A and B are shown apart, each in its own frame.
Chain A
């Protein structure tokens, strides 16, 4: 059974400029112990989707009535969107689900030492004694490769370097032993050499703790190195979804194909960089029909701008939402 099921998630924001659709009818599932990559560019709704899993979106977020997020825990399923009070939400905010952010500085309170924060949340979520929480925290800091953990335990976030902070953040998120970890661009702010260290660390930790990860990033290369499955989002819609090997080797959706062609590849220095033509439309001007049709090389007038393509099976678990893919499958 899957650990988390997202069904028909639709999320709009009430803003001064009107209602903006951030996520539109997105469905996916995550199995225990699996790393799912959520890839997209700015405005794709990847972060909003992830925040919805923890109910972290601001108050002007409106969930459509059909939206369902179900978290299947040992003691029964939890309807995430049905949670009302902060007390109820605790289960998705630290108990069973933890999150790490792009900018770790923002997620540590500046005036509380790292150790105190770790201890506090262990006491809150795990009901541990102060002493046990302290021991576990130091152990976790050591586990994520922070040398001299007992000393770092008493330090403040600003005293650590960027890579160290991200490690401490991971240690904090994992110390409550969540079933699901949401990592929102955890390596984007880091230098490449540090990024490589953090990615390796996260891979080791998945193997060790067996939790599932939602890995959000704009970088397909990072996804290729870490994820088991990948979901590609564009303007709030899921356009392609499948095992990472399949999606990267045989991208079915024109957007995924375009993204891969636009990426510089070190294996072939002479290859032309092919941009995806046009600009990402502003969320205020969401195209009708397939959201990608304004930039799509396979655009079929009268069809792509009229109807929204359904998710079609490409191969096995690999699905894509594109009329061109449908046609190809029909003719094959």
Chain B
């Protein structure tokens, strides 16, 4: 592991216009607003949030698949460094080899009209990484074996495979160009529980074997807790808390993180849910509330929260939180 983060995001904003035809007025959605974070090289970085939190958009922005309205994304894998938001055409081509995406839905992400071999080979052909068909075949077989795919099945079409196998095909496609940085967007959310663990373990093994850095986007805190070494929590386009996994789960600082943790159904039938329960729902990103974005649902909101947006502050080593009242809440004993 090196000291420089592989991805360093500074004050990133992604805005989407919605509606807006020839005559309709345009609305601007602040999908991501003012996000700063560092992803250390070689880490398994979790990004958690509910629907509408902007986590997917942030992931896509890092891959240059979403329009960056403001801010900087710096990429540095030790060999090359890029300013991702302002890549030249040639640099973008190279960056595509180094940063890839794994999709959520293993059904939609594979073209039903291509064989598994062709699907995995597509990035190689598009990027011009191989010269001959034999070389392509060799690399496809190499990565397919690493992703524990049956090599005899490469001639098959995706319709022959179950969800878990498809997701492994999807992973093989993302990794065939030997990227350094991979965004896994809800990569296990569509899978069955008994298969999910298998894909997670595979991702972890591949990360170690190939020296990847993975940004793991998920809505499922318990999955993230198990596989990631660092977790960032998003709410309504803002980063609200970021900390090493253990620290975050032991000492959550932001009221939203606490609520998220307590909302996870426990396997223990006798455990009574004691912690605070959130009222209401996540506001629409087209019409975010003023001040702290969480104030409409926060049990601890005060006047300051309704007028001023909190900035991300360091609370300890590597632990940052965006809350006006985190200190006084931390001093107060947790409700029993």
Contact = CB atoms under 8 A, between A and B. Distances in A.
A302 B197 CA distance: 29
Nearest to B268: A224
B269 interface: yes
Interface stretch (B61-69, B110-118, B274-282, B319-327): B274-282
Given A196-B277, A273-B201, A222 B192 contact: no
B221 A192 contact: yes
A244 interface: yes
A221 B51 contact: no
Contact of A279 (B164, B193, B226, B270): B164
A192 B260 contact: yes
Nearest to B246: A269
Interface stretch (A73-81, A82-90, A256-264): A256-264
A239 to B, nearest CB: 13
B8 interface: no
Main secondary structure of the interface of B (DSSP, over half): helix
A60 interface: no
A271 B278 CA distance: 29
A221 B222 CA distance: 11
B213 to A, nearest CB: 20
- Residue from A192, A194, A259 whose CB has the most chain B CB atoms within 10 Å: A192
A163 interface: yes
Contacts of A196: 262-263, 265, 273, 277-278
B206 interface: no
A49 B5 CA distance: 51
Interface string B194-208: 111110110000000
A104 B269 CA distance: 28
Given A222-B265, A224-B265, A263-B267, A191 B193 contact: no
Nearest to B190: A42
B200 A191 contact: no
Contacts of A244: 269
Contact of B249 (A248, A261, A269): A269
Given A42-B192, A266-B249, A269-B225, A221 B50 contact: no
B43 interface: no
A200 B249 contact: no
Contacts of B273: 196, 225
A192 B267 contact: no
Contact of B162 (A195, A265, A280): A280
Nearest to B284: A161
B136 interface: no
A191 B201 contact: no
Nearest to B224: A264
A283 to B, nearest CB: 11
A325 interface: no
B171 to A, nearest CB: 15
B259 A193 contact: yes
A218 B269 contact: no
A195 B263 CA distance: 8
Nearest to B202: A275
- Residue from A42, A218, A222 whose CB has the most chain B CB atoms within 10 Å: A42
A192 B218 CA distance: 12
Interface string A211-226: 0000000111110110
Contacts of A258: 194
A279 B277 CA distance: 37
Given A163-B281, A191-B51, A275 B198 contact: yes
29 contacts: A41-B192, A41-B195, A161-B281, A164-B281, A191-B50, A192-B221, A197-B278, A199-B265, A219-B265, A221-B264, A221-B267, A224-B267, A261-B197, A262-B194, A262-B196, A263-B193, A264-B220, A266-B225, A266-B249, A266-B261, A269-B226, A271-B226, A274-B197, A275-B195, A277-B198, A279-B162, A279-B165, A280-B164, A282-B162
Ranked 7 nearest A-B pairs via Cβ: A221-B265, A275-B198, A276-B194, A41-B192, A275-B197, A191-B50, A273-B197
Given A193-B50, A197-B279, A260-B267, 5 more contacts: A41-B195, A194-B281, A221-B264, A244-B269, A275-B197
